[in-house]
Amino acid sequence: MNDQIMNLRFYLDLETGVPHIYNHDVDENEVEDVLSNPGEDRLGRCKRKGCK
């Protein structure tokens, strides 16, 4: 088990008052899991690291 502390804050949708991630069918637990256990490092549109 990871003993580090991570504080997560979520943008609240002004119309609904709930975290914006809900608009993408994602919940807080899923966000925490991805941030705690990143599985892959994808390159951006330019297809190479360090590209601007």
CA distance 2 to 23: 29
In the block, tokens 């899923």 appear at 30
Print the domain residue range for 3: 1-38
Question: Looking at the domain assignment, is residue 24 inside a domain?
Answer: yes
CA distance 24 to 31: 11
Question: Looking at the domain assignment, is residue 47 inside a domain?
Answer: no
Q: What is the pLDDT of residue 4?
A: 77
Question: Looking at the domain assignment, is residue 15 inside a domain?
Answer: yes
- For residue range 20-47, list pLDDT tens digits in order: 999 999 999 999 988 888 777 776 676 6
Question: Looking at the domain assignment, is residue 51 inside a domain?
Answer: no
**Residue type at 49?**
K
Q: Tell whether pTM > 0.75.
A: no
CA distance 16 to 41: 33
Question: Looking at the domain assignment, is residue 3 inside a domain?
Answer: yes
2: pLDDT confidence band, cut at 50, 70 and 90? low
Question: Looking at the domain assignment, is residue 52 inside a domain?
Answer: no
Q: How many domains does the structure of the chain reveal?
A: 1
Which residues, 6 or more positions from 18, have their beta carbon under 8 angstroms from its beta carbon? Answer: 12
